[in-house]
């Protein structure tokens, strides 16, 4: 990042440090407007925590970023590359979307591991078949990643035989296998029994410490405060307040955020 700092903040430099830029994102399901103009920038190395009540549009925003949902309007730029959209917000270039998606790794609340494949097979699936990495290389790397998330001895186990915490750690290994430029976490610990939350947070904390860029939707406020360098509070499809964690958590300005924080802690 030294180079980026040295250069005066021209547009070009901005593009080279911007990992994700969302501008005026709208999304409606039928007549229900879920996102009402959200703008958000994450620079490389940023950990952006997204908090907000249930139904405030957190998942929808994350899903719009890799086009699992089709935005109704807005602009999305990933790593300096503007995603081509039709005027109705649908992606107009399927190949571009597929290429961009391989740089964004999503970790789901429900893990969504492929149940007919072992952990190792889950982790090598995308590198081998989508990214065309030689299989031997992908396998070696997958073993490393599984070891890293504490599942080195489970490579040949099927997901159904593992606890939720183990499955989520495997899902994180699968995400890391594509060497993503941004990781998108959608409430990665919400489906877990309380005693399993810690092991998953430890892995995510590790990734944050090594400078991974991530957007993290979470209900773990303590954790968000600790790992994030930027916090976004979403209320009914709008960003109600955002800023450094110390500000957002320590000195909230909006009444709604104050209420929200007191209700979750």
Partner 1 sequence: MAQSAELLSLSPPGWGGNLLRGLSHSLQIAFGAYALGLVIGLFGAYGKLYGGKVTRDLLAIYTTVIRAVPELVLILILYYVGSDIINKISTAMGGGRVEINGVAAGIWVLGIVQGAYATEILRGAIQAVPPGQIEAAKSYGMPALMTMRRVTIPAMMSFAVPGLANLWLIATKDTALLAVVGFNELTLETRQAASSTRAYFTFFLAAGFLYLMVTLCSGGIFARIEKWARRGQPSLKGGSR
Q: Does 118 bind partner 1 (CB under 8 A)?
A: yes
Beta carbon of residue 116, minimum distance to ligand ADP (angstroms, whole number): 26
Q: Which one of Mg ion, partner 1, ligand ADP, none interacts with residue 113, CB within 5 to 8 A by kind?
A: partner 1
Pick one of 26, 80, 158, 226: the residue that binds partner 1 (CB under 8 A): 158
| Alpha-carbon span 257 to 186, nearest angstrom | 20
Q: Does 114 bind partner 1 (CB under 8 A)?
A: yes
Please report, for residues 44, 203, 233, the alpha-carbon distance to residue 193 in angstroms, rounded to integers and kept in the order given.
32, 16, 25
Q: Which one of Mg ion, ligand ADP, partner 1, none interacts with residue 252, CB within 5 to 8 A by kind?
A: none
Q: Does 60 bind ligand ADP (CB under 6 A)?
A: yes
> Beta strands 18-29 and 32-43: pairing type?
antiparallel
Q: Does 59 bind Mg ion (CB under 5 A)?
A: yes
Pick one of 116, 147, 253, 258: the residue that binds partner 1 (CB under 8 A): 116
Note whether 234 and 57 are within 8 A (CB). yes
Q: Does 135 bind partner 1 (CB under 8 A)?
A: no
Residues 6+ apart with CB under 8 A from 249: 221, 224, 225, 231, 261
Size of the site for ligand ADP (CB under 6 A): 11
Q: Does 101 bind partner 1 (CB under 8 A)?
A: yes
DSSP string covering 118-138: -HHHHHHHHHHHTS---HHHH
Note whether 201 and 223 are within 8 A (CB). yes
Q: Which one of partner 1, Mg ion, ligand ADP, none interacts with residue 52, CB within 5 to 8 A by kind?
A: ligand ADP
| Chain centre to alpha carbon of residue 170 | 16
Q: Residues interacting with partner 1, by CB under 8 A?
A: 66, 68, 97-102, 104-106, 108, 110-118, 125-126, 129-130, 158-161, 178
């Amino acid at each position: 990042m030294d180079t980026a700092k040295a250069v005066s903040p021209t547009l070009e430099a901005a593009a080279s440090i911007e990992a994700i830029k969302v501008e005026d994102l709208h999304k409606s399901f039928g007549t229900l407007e879920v996102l009402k103009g959200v703008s958000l920038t994450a620079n490389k190395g940023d950990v952006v925590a997204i908090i907000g009540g249930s139904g405030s549009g957190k998942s929808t925003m994350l899903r719009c970023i890799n086009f699992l949902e089709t935005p109704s309007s807005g602009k999305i730029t990933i790593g300096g590359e503007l995603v081509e959209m039709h005027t109705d917000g649908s992606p107009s270039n399927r190949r571009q979307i597929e290429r961009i998606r391989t740089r964004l790794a999503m970790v789901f609340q429900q893990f969504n591991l492929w149940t007919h494949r072992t952990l190792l097979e889950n982790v090598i699936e995308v590198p081998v078949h989508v990214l065309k990495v030689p299989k031997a290389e992908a396998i070696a790397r997958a073993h490393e990643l599984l070891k890293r998330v504490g599942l080195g001895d489970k490579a040949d186990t099927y997901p159904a035989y593992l606890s939720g915490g183990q499955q989520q750690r495997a899902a994180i290994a699968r995400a890391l296998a594509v060497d993503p430029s941004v990781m998108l976490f959608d409430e990665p610990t919400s489906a877990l029994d309380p005693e399993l939350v810690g092991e998953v947070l430890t892995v995510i904390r590790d990734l944050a410490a090594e400078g991974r860029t991530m957007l993290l939707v979470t209900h773990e406020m303590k954790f968000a405060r600790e790992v994030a360098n930027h916090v976004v509070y979403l209320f009914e499809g709008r960003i109600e307040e955002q800023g450094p964690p110390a500000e957002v958590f320590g000195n909230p300005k909006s009444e709604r955020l104050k209420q929200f924080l007191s209700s979750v802690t």
